[in-house]
Chains A and B, each alone.
Chain A
Amino acid sequence: MAETLWTLFGPLWHALSVVLQWQNVVAIVVGTVAGMVVGSLPGLSATMAIAILIPLTFTLDPLVALGMMAGIYNGAMYGGAIPAILLRIPGTPPSIVTTFDGYPMAQRGQAAYALKIACVSSAIGGTVSAISLMLFAPPLAQVTLMFGPAEYFWVAVFGLSSIAVLLGADPIKGLMSACFGLLLGMVGLDMVTGHERFAFGNRYLLDGLNLIVVLTGLYAIPPAIMMAEDALTKGLSAKDLAIGPGESVLANWRGFVPAWLRGGFFGILVGILPGTGGSMAAFLAYNETKRSARDQNSFGKGNPVGVAAAECGNNADNAAAMIPALTLGVPGSGVSAVILAGLLVHGLQPGPQLFRDNPDIVYGFMIQMLLTSVLLIGFGGPFAVRTFAQVLRLPRVLLAPMIFGLAVVGVYTLNNSLFEVWLMLGFGLVGYAMDRLKFPLAPVILGLILGGMAEQQLRLTLLINLGDWTALFRSPISLILFGLTLLILLWPILRAWRDRARQMADERG
């Protein structure tokens, strides 16, 4: 028993010494601060920041790159609370829930207290989430050793279906995005027969589409175009960012514990489930805390516990979303899909082999998720508002050309190819159209990542079983995954039937 536990968790101790090397420490500090800055700027997201960062980290050690990504992820999720509390503008989508009580608190002169609560709650949520990643990912990676090609095919199909159906408001658009991503993944030469598919004779496309080119185009260009379209030539004034000293969270910690417990629980649960995200975790934690509170009427009017529940919930989702990403290659959220792309770019393939061949990197990343959560206490709160958040005073029209410049240099340096820069620009326009027509972007990236895996495993299954399709449904694991996929795909129809039945019952009653 002890030996098994040591086999599973022993590499964590070894990875700790690697993580504490100065380069990695600098990376997580820089990443956390950059994440807070990005998160505090409405319109910019952690996904966009990581997408831009990936090309910048090519020549870096993978753990240094992952440290920066971990910092940006946790930092941005907290940073969104700053404009949410001070201005009622959510910096990131999940911080909408923080505005409910954070802004009323700021209105009655408790901005600093609200920021401290958000900071401590985010740190607690992120820490609990990182611990869950350390506890659940290694055993789950061992379980995946039982998987064969058919099971991996169904894992890819299940992951893609769940992200496509559950991530956005419209399942049809989600599935269309996923198909689009899958087709993009097939551009280039077929690895088995050597025939070109969807390349239309273009020699630049024979190697396939570079994941980073598509990622940068879809995630970095559209928000920058919208920022330029909005043409906001005035930043915030110093008065907007002026805050007083505020109360201590430690003095009132007992009152926040139930909210932190709920936030932690819902965050981890939502994070592990593919296709859901931080917004849902924050909403669930907030609603459940409100429902069980004695003074329900005070929620939405500046109840500090509401801020604690929302922020703890949205940060508790972060590391947990990496559990399916690291073990199965199926990310639990849009941001984790981009981090997964970052892993692939550094030549790291998710799954049990990642835990076996690169333990320092995978366990080191888990520790980095933990450390960057703890760092929020040191760099967040009123300190962040007085220092990093001053970037909000910059006119946002100045940020758009910087994003364009970074995107171009990042993509160009991948292969010194201007063709890929043009391609990125094209994907930027596609991303803009998709955003305006409310097509989710994450399924495209996931389709691009998982498409190759799904096709390869399908062909392998058919090859091993001499073209017998029933081989896809032979093992119990395959059947379970197939059943789950079917359930996910039918879920919108079942929900519509249920709603109609309720409506009819109400009309009769």
Chain B
Amino acid sequence: MDWPAPPYVAPVLSAASVVPAASASAGLAYGSRMRVVVSYAVLEAVTAAVLLLLCAVLWLSLAEVPESARLFPQAILLVFAVLCTVFLARSLRRLRHGRTDPSGDAPVPWRFFRHPTRFGLVVALLVGYVAAVQVAGYFSGTATMFVALTVLMGYRAMMPILVSLAAFLAFIWVVFILAFERPLPQEFFLRGSLHVPVSVETVHG
């Protein structure tokens, strides 16, 4: 599909053209902004190697399992390992021929992350968010994550942020607390109150 990009998607497309093509074909290179660029074929090869290692670990973990219970997983692991080997060989062949892009047709730059800095920020925020839900409660944690994420991603209009946040939290409250009566992680400022549904951790098995 070959149409001019409308302004709506422009940031994605412009972000992909930061690193020169020549540097990307080298496999591991540094772009104009000193970003490490790992080519598609290199990442494919690394993925295949990691998965092969995973297959070996999983195979060994079945050593103590009775034969009837390990038959099927071992068969799947065997097929998986064969596929990983074929995949690895194909990636290495592509690398040898200098074909590093997803389609294998031309040495165009490809990057794993759409925007590495923002990706790191989002993942850090998500980890912080789940920890905050555990420590401070669902609504407090979500409110913090909501504001932090939108502001860090460059959106600074506080009124729309707060209105959207209030509407979203009201929706969650109505659906999960009022309608379904599901307990959510309790808010830190309400602990000790008997009127609020209490979070219960279940133990599996």
Contacts and interface: CB of A to CB of B under 8 A. Distances in A.
Interface of A: 42, 56, 58-59, 87-89, 96, 99, 172-173, 175-176, 179-180, 182-183, 186, 189-190, 192-193, 195, 197-198, 200, 203-207, 221, 225-226, 228-233, 236, 394-395, 397-398, 400-402, 404-406, 408-409, 412-413, 415-418, 421-422, 425, 428-429, 433, 436-438, 451, 454-455, 458-459
Given A88-B3, A398-B164, A415-B202, A179 B44 contact: no
A459 B68 CA distance: 8
Interface string B137-161: 0100010011001100111000011
Given A228-B122, A412-B185, 12 more contacts: A193-B68, A197-B69, A221-B126, A225-B123, A229-B118, A229-B119, A230-B11, A402-B168, A409-B142, A412-B133, A413-B180, A416-B183
A204 B149 CA distance: 30
Contacts of A56: 175
A428 B201 CA distance: 22
B8 A232 contact: yes
A421 B203 CA distance: 14
Contact of A418 (B61, B69, B87, B134): B134
B58 A198 contact: yes
Contacts, number: 200
18 contacts: A87-B6, A88-B6, A89-B6, A99-B3, A173-B87, A176-B51, A176-B80, A176-B87, A180-B80, A183-B76, A197-B69, A203-B203, A230-B12, A231-B154, A413-B184, A416-B200, A433-B47, A455-B72
A228 B130 contact: no
Contact of A206 (B51, B83, B155, B205): B205
Of all A-B residue pairs in the complex, the 7 with the closest CB atoms, nearest first, are: A206-B205, A179-B80, A231-B153, A190-B69, A401-B146, A207-B204, A455-B72
Nearest to B118: A229
B115 interface: yes
Interface string B48-73: 00010000001001101110111011
A397 B150 contact: yes
B133 A225 contact: no
B58 A204 contact: no
* Interface size range of chain B in the complex: 35 or more
A125 to B, nearest CB: 22
Contacts of A186: 72-73, 76
Given A395-B160, A405-B142, A437-B43, A422 B118 contact: no
Contacts of A459: 68, 72
Contacts of B65: 190, 193, 195, 197
Contacts of A233: 153-155
A205 B204 contact: yes
Interface of B: 1, 3, 6, 8-9, 11-12, 40, 43-44, 47, 51, 58, 61-62, 64-66, 68-70, 72-73, 76-77, 79-80, 83-84, 86-87, 90, 102, 112-115, 118-119, 122-123, 126-127, 129-130, 133-134, 138, 142, 145-146, 149-150, 153-155, 160-161, 164, 168, 172, 175-176, 180, 182-185, 199-205
Contacts of A88: 3, 6
Contacts of A203: 203-205
B115 A229 contact: yes
Contacts of A406: 172
A197 B8 CA distance: 47
Contacts of A397: 149-150, 153-155
Contact of B130 (A236, A400, A418): A418
A45 to B, nearest CB: 16
A229 B114 contact: yes
Contact of B184 (A179, A401, A412, A454): A412
A182 B78 CA distance: 12
Contacts of B64: 195
